[in-house]
Structure 1
């Protein structure tokens, strides 16, 4: 009888303890991006890595229409900032903080959890006589769609603020794939190309439309923005960073190319729980080599690139503690 009561008591205690342990787990949501994108896949990878290894955090990634939506959603419901992180870029953050389109008002700045991609783009042509931006005077170039940060808005910042050359050429905003097709069929003189980089190792993976151009059988010539143009945008408040794409990184690139990168990252607002930020960042650092198993772009992730391009004051305090413990930031 007493043995039965002891077992029953132990069972009841276990049943009571289970919900308590579960209640102590911090449930965090990650607003990612459209289904099928690198952002969506790598965010799903972060969910699996963190949730399978953490005793204190359960991370759940969800599909969203895009990065602009993420910021608008979070600021429409400020209480989300306490237990949500999101996919974002430094370029989008600049537009949000300054209240430029597609944002209707100025929004608070964000803080870094960890980079997962570093995007870089530039102009390319099949015309061997076009070697610099100045050679494009009177010619037609094709960019991405108007709302695209990396493929349109930041190149326009370089052409306008960085080089003062936007008025000297005809600029068509067609879309990334459409821009490549326009260059192939000869309806434009140059088009935006690029991809994603690990600035630490110099590894570069071209975007799909860049691969299409390289596979055309035509000689592709690459046009640098120039270090001064990038710095002019930075000095004017732009959020881009200097990047040198090394010779040989893509076909036809026979010398180092001065470009820029936009940090594409998981970020949080200052209200986000510090311990959760620490735990998520710690596990991303420890498992950074596993992201390549989920998506080819994950192969560009390295411990050193996770905070590349960010100043210490723009890193979430919890994430900063994890980076310092790992010896990645002083």
Structure 2
């Protein structure tokens, strides 16, 4: 049954593929996380701006997790996806959440904005650190979003813990984990502040985030596990009521990915549209206020830029 479901998803994504041409018969797909996630909102914003400013018709296609849409990207069944810098490395090299399953055709098109992920708990909880989670019911497994499990393992490993120290509750993805938190069945869940899932959870129960990286040793350990990541300090602001005090989360760059065989002119047109239309991106979603066009070409060891993107970045002088 599982193989049939994966096959059906791949077929659905393939229907949206642009087949590497500007004058495509249907929309170009951007594989991304489910609706309600910040990842979906970012992909939808990218798709809107590209569709309005090029001859490329683009659509965000939300799926259960990157374990579905990145292999589809690698096979050329879709032309783009969203993810992050360290997953691009994992996918290309067959490490991390893609251990033993290399996707060598994955390429980076653009860095879109900094992103932070951490652990959210009930506002009235007495949990203030990772150590407080020992023996507590907490989501594990993430069968449809293995990357979340890899990130979760990275922060626990950094403080000498593992999933074995938790009262693990298997979940397919963070959406189900958030539902369990709202129900009181688990004490926390790994999520991104500002996402729709966080807002939905807060509508049912007040929540807050705790720091997941404390000290230089922990920061170095997490960076070793998640290439290109860093300590992302998030301060309380009015638009993020779930941040009740400054917290240090996993910081990384969210990226637009493509594949090696994607048409060079299509990729060139897409990154050009993003570079030239920051204000339109902000109108699509406020998180793009953090988008820096001059940082789109930032490179991480282990992941490669697509030639179409590289050509544009050299033309505008942000890549030597």
Q: Name the CA distance, whole Å, in 2 between partners of 1:273 and 1:321.
A: 13
SS of 1:121's partner is strand
Paired residues in the alignment total 285
- The 2-side partners of 1:179 and 1:60 are apart by 30
Give the 5 Å matches for 1:1-330: 26-27=22-23, 30-33=28-31, 36=35, 37-38=40-41, 40-52=43-55, 58=56, 60-61=58-59, 63=61, 65=63, 67-76=66-75, 84-96=79-91, 97-98=93-94, 105-108=101-104, 110-116=106-112, 118-125=114-121, 126=123, 129-142=126-139, 145-149=142-146, 151-160=148-157, 162-166=158-162, 167-174=164-171, 175-195=173-193, 206-215=194-203, 218=206, 220=208, 222-226=210-214, 228-236=217-225, 238-249=226-237, 250-251=240-241, 253-304=243-294, 306-307=296-297, 310=300, 314-329=304-319
Q: What residue ranges of structure 2 are gaps of 5+ in the alignment?
A: 1-20
The whole-number CA distance in structure 2 between the counterparts of 1:225 and 1:213 is 23
Task: Report the Cα distance in structure 1 between the residues aligned to 2:271 and 2:302, rounded to whole angstroms.
Answer: 15
From the CA coordinates, give the structure whose radius of gyration is larger: 1
Task: State the Cα deviation string for residues 210-229 of structure 1 (Å, max 9, x = none).
Answer: 22454557463523333533
Displacement of 1:290 in angstroms is 0.8
**CA offsets 1:35-55 (integer angstroms, 9 cap, x no match):** 853255234314413425xxx
Mapped contact 2:106–2:260 kept (Cα < 8 A): yes
For the 8 Å contact 2:233–2:249, the answer to whether it is kept is yes
- Following the alignment from structure 2 to structure 1, what is the Cα–Cα distance between the partners of residues 205 and 146? 30
Name the CA shift for 1:51/1:230 in 2 (closer, same or farther; >3 Å).
Answer: same
Indicate conservation of the 8 Å contact 2:235/2:243, yes or no. yes
* Unaligned segments of structure 1, at least 5 residues: 1-24, 53-57, 196-205
In the alignment, the residues of structure 1 paired with residue 169 and residue 124 of structure 2 have an alpha-carbon distance, to the nearest angstrom, of 18
Alpha carbons of structure 1 residues 265 and 43: separation in structure 2 relative to 1, 3 Å? same
Task: Report Cα offsets for 1:45-87 as digits up to 9, x if no partner.
Answer: 14413425xxxxx45547474644443234446xx79xx4444
Taking the aligned partners of 1:45 and 1:190, their CA distance within structure 2 comes to 34
User: RMSD value over aligned CA atoms?
Assistant: 3.8
Cα–Cα, structure 1 residues 212 and 117, in superposed 2: closer, same or farther, change >3 Å? same
Distance 1:127 1:142, change over 3 A: farther
Determine the C-alpha separation between the residues in 1 that align with 2:293 and 2:190: 29
| C-alpha distance 153-286 of structure 1, shift in aligned 2 (>3 A) | same
Distance 1:273 1:221, change over 3 A: closer
